Structure 1
Amino acid sequence: MLNMSRRLFRSVSFAIALLAWAGVPGAAADKPACTVGPLKLASFNIQFLGSSAKRDNEGLADLVRDQDIVLVQELIAPPFAGSFPPNPDGTVEAFKPDPQAAAFFEAMRSRGFFWVMSEEDTGSGDRIHLNSTATEWWVAFYKPQAAAPANDLPGGFLASDRSNHPDYERVPFAFPFRNCSGTMDFVLVSVHLQPDDGPAPRQRRQHEIASISQWIDAQAGNGERDYLIVGDTNIQDCGELAQALPPGYQSLNAGCVATNTNVKGPKPYDHVFYRPAATAPEIDQAFGFKVVGLVDAMRNRWQQFGTGPYPGDPYRHDDFRQVYSDHSPVLFRMVAAGRDDD
Structure 2
Amino acid sequence: MTGPEAPLRDTSLLSVLRGERKDVPPVWLMRQAGRYLPEYRALRADKGGFLELVYDSEAAAEVTLQPLRRFGFDGAILFSDILIVPYAMGQDLWFETGEGPRLAPILAETPLEALKPDFSRYEAVYETVRRVRAALDPNVTFLGFAGSPWTVATYMVAGQGSKDQGAARRLAYGDPARFAAIIDAIVEATVTYLCGQIDAGVDAVQLFDSWAGSLAPLEFDRWVIEPNARIVERVKAIHPDVSVIGFPKGAGAKLPDYARGTKVDAVGLDETVDPHWANAVLPKGLPVQGNLDPLALIAGGDAVVRAVDNIRAAFVDRPYIFNLGHGILPDTPIDHVAALLDHVRGKDR
TM-score tier, shorter chain, comes to: 0.3 to 0.5
More helix by share: 2
TM-score by length of 2: 0.40
Q: TM-score, normalised by structure 1?
A: 0.40
